[in-house]
Structure formats: C-alpha cells, structure tokens
Amino acid sequence: EVQLVETGGGLIQPGGSLRLSCAASGFTVSSNYMSWVRQAPGKGLEWVSVIYSGGSTYYADSVKGRFTISRDNSKNTLYLQMNSLRAEDTAVYYCALRHGYWGQGTLVTVSS
C-alpha cells in the first residue's frame, strides 16, 4: 500500500529556512517522479516542484532559487529545502507520487 507522510512544517520567521520531509512506503521514490504541491489557506492548489526518476528537477518561478527538491534513496524519502521564506509561502505542503497519491500535508506558516 502506498503511503506518504509529510513532516517538518511549522512556524518560521520571514527569511528563515525549513526542510520538509515526505517519507514514502509501498513504492520506491527513486523509480518515480515526485512532486510538491502547496495550498495557501483558503486558496487553490499550486504546483511547486518535481523531481523525475532520472534526477532532473524543476521549480515554479515563485520558488526558483529559494527551494530545492531532493531525495534520499536509502531512506526512501523526498525532501523540500525551503530558504529565504516569505509570508506568501504560508501554505499546506503536499508531496505526491506521480499524480495519483498524495500525503496528508504539512502546514508551513511564515510570520514574525
């Protein structure tokens, strides 16, 4: 059974950094493309980043240069390193396997 569990969210001051984790089970992270999608409070869904099985990575313009997607094959875990955080990055962050399986999300709040 596919399971995705995100952790690492919390309250962080503007300019700070956080690393989100997405622990996967039931499949191999490195053999699939995985994405991060976020949802600001009361808003719609916004694609953030993707990592393909071959290792290529892509980012939304809104996070390019600040966020880094990566994976640890030995831990079967996906990450999102978020630097220089802004108030507009406040959202629930979901990891997703291809397009069909999503985690429960982790809330990131950027505020002073």
> Footprint of other proteins on this chain (CB under 8 A)?
35, 37, 44-47, 50, 58, 60-61, 94, 99-105
Q: Which is nearer to other proteins, 79 or 103 (CB)?
A: 103
Q: Which is nearer to other proteins, 13 or 40 (CB)?
A: 40
CA 1 to chain CA mean position, Å: 21
Q: How far is the CB of 9 from other proteins (least distance, A)?
A: 14
CA distance 62 to 67: 9
The closest alpha carbon to 95, from 63, 56, 50, belongs to 50
Q: How far is the CB of 105 from other proteins (least distance, A)?
A: 6
Q: Kind and range of the H or E element at 25? A: strand 18-25
